[in-house]
Amino acid sequence: GAAALGLAGLEEGYHSLLPSFAALLREMHLAEARGGQGGGFALLFRSFGDDVEDVVAEYNALCEGRHPLAAAGGFPRMDGSDGCRDRRIAGEQLLSFRRPEGADGMRGVELHAGLHAQGGLVATGWGEVHAAIQARLDERPALAVRDDFPSWSACGESDRAGKPHVVAPGALSIFLDDNVEPDHAHIVDVRAPDGTPVSFEDAMGRHIVRVDPVQAILREDYFIEVLEGCRRRQPGV
């Protein structure tokens, strides 16, 4: 409740992490600890808004066992104290995307350090951006990235100017967002590492998922079932 959030150093009366999402993290982290399926997973928080820092603070509290969802029992520490990787998000894991207009009129992609691009350019182009993100995830398997809302808005909220999501061949890489539409990606721009657009038909249910907020609130196993569904839809499965 609100009092427990306050004791954890978080804002009282408001929180971002759902029990169903915490349940998914618990299952994936325990699978990694056992060396089973799900081991080696990484996490990226994405938002167009100013809420990224609050989400990171709450997530780190969960990793450290200070969050009410962890205090309820049965939730593993994800701060490295159990011998697994430290999943907390530190300053160098805070990034931002920019989507500049290219000479061909299409939106490119740049990755900058800091949530407001204050730390300078990290990488540009789909392949370089993908490699830079993977390198950071190899160091610590959690990132938080602020996306470029002004660019998306200026393009009429086009799919091809949305939140970049680069999918490498053979990778189980899933973008969860409640603003994905039933017939088009809308808020997510899915690409191959060479920048080739991935069609909505190929991406939906494999690499992007339209989250149902009501079911995510009501069902603790919601995100676990979403992940299993995406696994079943991967080519060759």
Predicted confidence (pLDDT) at residue 45 exceeds the cutoff of 60: yes
> Average pLDDT in the 181-194 region?
96
The model carries a pTM of 0.90
> Average pLDDT in the 176-188 region?
96
Could you tell me the pLDDT band of residue 107, with boundaries at 50, 70 and 90?
Answer: confident
Could you count the other beta carbons within 10 Å of the beta carbon of residue 34? 10
Predicted confidence (pLDDT) at residue 36 exceeds the cutoff of 90: no
The pair of structure tokens assigned to 95 is 């990034």
Contacts (Cβ under 8 Å, ≥6 apart) of 49: 146, 149
> Average pLDDT in the 147-151 region?
96
pLDDT single digits (tens) 83-95: 889 999 998 999 9
Helix (H, G, I), strand (E, B) or coil at 124: strand
pLDDT of residue 23: 95
CB 191 within 8 A of CB 126: yes
Predicted confidence (pLDDT) at residue 176 exceeds the cutoff of 90: yes
The backbone torsions φ and ψ at residue 167, rounded to the nearest 5 degrees and listed phi first, read -115, 115
pLDDT of residue 40: 78
Long-range Cβ pairs for the range 54-60 (8 Å, 24+): 54/11, 54/16, 55/16, 55/17, 55/144, 56/89, 56/94, 56/144, 57/9, 57/10, 58/10, 58/15, 58/16, 58/17, 59/17, 59/88, 59/89, 59/142, 60/88, 60/89
pLDDT of residue 15: 77
Q: Which helix (H) or strand (E) holds 2?
A: helix 2-7
> Average pLDDT in the 59-82 region?
90
Of the listed ranges 21-25, 39-43, 59-63, the least confidently predicted one is 39-43
Predicted confidence (pLDDT) at residue 237 exceeds the cutoff of 90: no
Could you tell me the pLDDT band of residue 32, with boundaries at 50, 70 and 90?
Answer: confident
Contacts (Cβ under 8 Å, ≥6 apart) of 89: 45, 56, 59, 60, 140, 142, 143, 144
**Across the chain, what does the average pLDDT equal?**
90
Most confident of 7-11, 72-76, 208-212: 208-212
Total number of residues shown for the chain:
237
The pair of structure tokens assigned to 146 is 């602020």
CB 98 within 8 A of CB 148: yes
pLDDT of residue 37: 53
The pair of structure tokens assigned to 91 is 């300053």
Sign of CA dihedral 46, 48, 51, 53: positive
CB 23 within 8 A of CB 221: yes
Predicted confidence (pLDDT) at residue 46 exceeds the cutoff of 80: yes
CB-based burial label for 22 (10 Å; 0-12, 13-18, 19+): buried
